[in-house]
């Protein structure tokens, strides 16, 4: 027999997964009623696990960040990837559930759930320890030019923020993954075909 608390954990994860599906379909404007209907449960069941939609969105954001952190660590410790490939893979990684999401959802998150957006924004702006460690190692080994690392971070964040702009997205029909790959290619290797 499965312990009662395990059922609660399963339902919580089911609610998070259902929320991600609704975000993919409707953005952040979905309602708790729509979530309950999609999962064939009552609104009361939702509120037994999450006190509000904001708390549910916070859990989605926290799981997103946890997935990124775990994958960063896994990539950084990968025995066969070279240093530049590790940096590139870390900076283009998007958790599977979020790969197909429209990047404009970040603007919607900021508009409708500002506190949750701030958590994600803080993570993107402050969680650089693994990348900085790899880059410092690359500089010490000579595989990366001795550049000001804060400048690299600002260039990356500036490029990402520009790409996240809905005006850019309306003009350019590329996926989030393709945009991140192109950005990292330019930042790591430049635009020249010559070596």
Annotate the chain with three-state secondary structure. CCCHHHHHHHHHHHHHHHHHHHHHHHHHHCCHHHHHHHHCCCHHHHHHHCCCHHHHHHHHHHHHHHHHHHHHHHHHCCCCCCHHHHHHHHHHCCCHHHCCCCCCHHHHHHHHCHHHHHHHHHHHHHCCHHHHHHHHHHHHHCCCCCCCHHHHHHHHHHHHHHHCCHHHHHHCCCCHHHHHHHHHHHHHHCCCCCC
47 and 77 in a single domain? The answer is no
43 and 80 in a single domain? The answer is no
Q: Looking at the 3D structure of the chain, how many domains does it have? A: 2
Question: Is the per-residue pLDDT at 15 higher than 80?
Answer: yes
User: Is residue 101, in this structure, part of any structural domain at all?
Assistant: yes
What is the domain range of residue 3? Answer: 1-51
Question: Is the per-residue pLDDT at 100 higher than 60?
Answer: no
**Of the candidates 146, 147, 150, 170, the residue with the CA atom closest to the CA atom of residue 158:** 150
pLDDT band at 160 (very low <50, low <70, confident <90, very high): confident
User: Is residue 179, in this structure, part of any structural domain at all?
Assistant: yes
116 and 44 in a single domain? The answer is no
- Can you tell me which residue has the tokens 């945009």? 179
Mean pLDDT of 63-90: 94
78 and 174 in a single domain? The answer is yes
User: Is residue 195, in this structure, part of any structural domain at all?
Assistant: no
CB count, 10 Å around CB of 169? 17
47 and 72 in a single domain? The answer is no
87 and 161 in a single domain? The answer is yes
User: Is residue 58, in this structure, part of any structural domain at all?
Assistant: no
pLDDT reported for residue 2: 42
pLDDT reported for residue 71: 94
Mean pLDDT of 118-127: 89
User: Is residue 94, in this structure, part of any structural domain at all?
Assistant: yes
User: Is residue 88, in this structure, part of any structural domain at all?
Assistant: yes
Mean pLDDT of 65-75: 94
16 and 80 in a single domain? The answer is no
87 and 169 in a single domain? The answer is yes
Per residue in 23-59, pLDDT tens? 988 989 999 999 999 999 999 999 999 999 999 999 9
126 and 95 in a single domain? The answer is yes
101 and 155 in a single domain? The answer is yes
User: Is residue 143, in this structure, part of any structural domain at all?
Assistant: yes
Per residue in 123-148, pLDDT tens? 988 889 999 999 999 999 999 999 99
CB count, 10 Å around CB of 134? 19
pLDDT reported for residue 94: 80
pLDDT reported for residue 1: 40
């Amino acid at each position: 027999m499965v312990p009662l608390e395990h059922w609660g954990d399963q339902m919580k994860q089911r609610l998070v997964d259902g929320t991600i599906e609704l975000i993919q379909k409707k953005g952040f404007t979905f309602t708790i009623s729509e979530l309950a209907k999609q999962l064939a449960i009552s609104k009361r069941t939702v509120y037994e696990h999450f006190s509000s939609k904001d708390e549910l969105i916070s859990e989605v954001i926290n799981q997103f960040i946890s997935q990124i952190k775990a994958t960063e660590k896994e990539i950084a410790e990968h025995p066969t990837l070279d240093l530049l490939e590790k940096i590139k893979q870390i900076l283009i990684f998007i958790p599977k559930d979020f790969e197909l999401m429209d990047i404009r959802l970040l603007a919607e998150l900021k508009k409708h759930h500002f506190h949750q957006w701030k958590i994600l924004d803080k993570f993107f702006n402050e969680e650089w320890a693994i990348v900085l460690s790899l880059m410092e190692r690359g500089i010490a080994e000579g595989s990366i030019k001795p550049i000001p690392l804060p400048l690299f971070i600002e260039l990356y964040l500036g490029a990402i923020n520009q790409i996240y702009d809905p005006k850019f997205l309306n003009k350019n029909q590329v996926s989030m993954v393709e945009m991140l790959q192109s950005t990292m290619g330019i930042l790591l290797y430049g635009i020249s075909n010559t070596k």
